[in-house]
């Protein structure tokens, strides 16, 4: 699987993503600067975490209008899979490649802790190697992870398998305590309509090595590599 990781000014998890992708695929991803208007031919495009452009105006708003995003949009429209994590998810919603928006955490505090995710749709190229209902514990670290979509959009997401992951407790249930940021319906990640674009707030790339304290993020990357190789 060939992949590219887009780097914006203020990205800070790009090397974590590179390490996770290389571990899973055995190939080093290309790093592409946001001002580049060309992307190498790849099987997966990844927008990593960070604080692109200092989160000025709104998290992801400036980055969504970067030169490279024209090409990311063009590839996404052709069906090239795109994964956005944390700031990458925010950028994908700002670019309207994913529905909804990510707002300030309901607590108004930066949240940095492990969260447990439940796989809601395992019938996609990203999640096909996982089981529906499967749980994985991975870290999250964000200030603006509060997923909002209007009622009609939430219903459409629900009806079409558009919800990828939800925050759950140890028993696998969605509760207010298990929801770190106030996201509507405990949504941690969503797909686009064709399930070729995935965004999620938590960081599976930071749970791929025993030194991270857990390796439950590996299964996601292993599954993506399997689907795209």
Partner 1 sequence: MKAKVHVTLKPGVLDPQGKAIHHALGALGFAGVEAVRQGKVIELELAETDRARAEAALDEMCRKLLANTVIENYAIELTD
Q: How far is the CB of 149 from partner 1 (least distance, A)?
A: 8
Cβ nearer to partner 1, comparing 22 with 185: 185
Query: Residues near 217 by Cβ (< 8 Å), separated by ≥ 6?
Result: 20, 136, 138, 203, 204, 205, 206, 207, 208
Going from the C-alpha of 204 to that of each of 41, 123, 145, 222, the distances in angstroms are 24, 19, 15, 11
Q: How far is the CB of 148 from partner 1 (least distance, A)?
A: 6
Site membership for partner 1, residue 103 (CB under 8 A):
yes
Is the sign of the CA dihedral 138, 119, 121, 93 positive or negative?
negative
State which of residues 30, 31, 39, 61 lies at the interface with partner 1 (CB under 8 A).
Answer: 61
State which of residues 41, 78, 108, 123 lies at the interface with partner 1 (CB under 8 A).
Answer: 108
Active-site residue, 112 included: no
Site membership for partner 1, residue 93 (CB under 8 A):
yes
Cβ nearer to partner 1, comparing 62 with 76: 62
Sheet holding 135-142, edge to edge: 30-33, 3-7, 44-47, 82-85, 197-200, 187-191, 163-168, 111-119, 135-142
Instruction: Look up residue 28 and give its DSSP letter.
Output: P
Name the residue with tokens 């096909």: 128
Q: Where are the beta strands (DSSP E) in the chain?
A: 3-7, 30-33, 44-47, 82-85, 101-103, 111-119, 135-142, 146-148, 163-168, 187-191, 197-200
Q: Which two tokens stand for residue 109?
A: 């505090």
Site membership for partner 1, residue 106 (CB under 8 A):
yes
Specify whether the CB–CB gap between 81 and 39 falls below 8 A. Answer: no
Site membership for partner 1, residue 48 (CB under 8 A):
no
Active-site residue, 216 included: no
For partner 1 (CB under 8 A), the number of binding residues is: 21
Q: How far is the CB of 57 from partner 1 (least distance, A)?
A: 7
Active-site residue, 77 included: no
Site membership for partner 1, residue 122 (CB under 8 A):
no
| Contact pattern for partner 1 over residues 143 through 182, marking x by CB under 8 A | ---x-xxx-------------------------------x
Q: Which of 14, 94, 205, 216 is catalytic?
A: 205
Cβ nearer to partner 1, comparing 15 with 61: 61
CA angle 126, 188, 142 (to 5 degrees): 115
Cβ nearer to partner 1, comparing 160 with 229: 160
Which residue numbers are catalytic?
Answer: 86, 203, 205
Binding site for partner 1 (CB under 8 A): 57-58, 61-62, 65, 93-94, 99-101, 103-108, 146, 148-150, 182
């Amino acid at each position: 699987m060939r992949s590219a990781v887009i780097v914006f000014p203020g990205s800070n998890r790009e090397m974590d993503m590179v390490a996770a992708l290389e571990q899973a695929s055995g190939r080093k991803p290309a790093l592409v600067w946001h001002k580049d208007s060309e992307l190498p031919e790849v099987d997966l495009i990844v927008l990593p975490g960070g604080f692109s452009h200092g989160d000025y105006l709104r998290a992801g708003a400036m980055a969504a209008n970067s030169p490279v995003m024209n090409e990311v949009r063009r590839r996404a429209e052709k069906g090239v899979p795109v994964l956005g994590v944390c700031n990458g998810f925010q950028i994908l919603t700002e670019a309207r490649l994913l529905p909804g928006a990510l707002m300030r955490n309901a607590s108004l505090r930066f949240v940095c802790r492990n969260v447990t995710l439940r796989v809601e749709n395992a019938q996609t190229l990203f999640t096909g190697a996982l089981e529906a209902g499967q749980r994985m514990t991975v870290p999250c670290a964000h200030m603006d992870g509060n997923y909002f979509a209007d009622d009609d959009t939430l219903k459409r997401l629900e009806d079409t398998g558009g919800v990828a992951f939800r925050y759950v407790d140890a028993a696998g249930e969605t509760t207010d305590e298990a929801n770190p940021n106030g996201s509507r319906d405990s949504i941690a990640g969503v797909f686009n309509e064709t399930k070729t674009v995935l965004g999620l707030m938590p960081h599976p790339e930071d749970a791929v090595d025993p030194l991270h304290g857990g390796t439950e993020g590996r299964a996601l990357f292993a599954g993506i590599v399997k689907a795209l190789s």
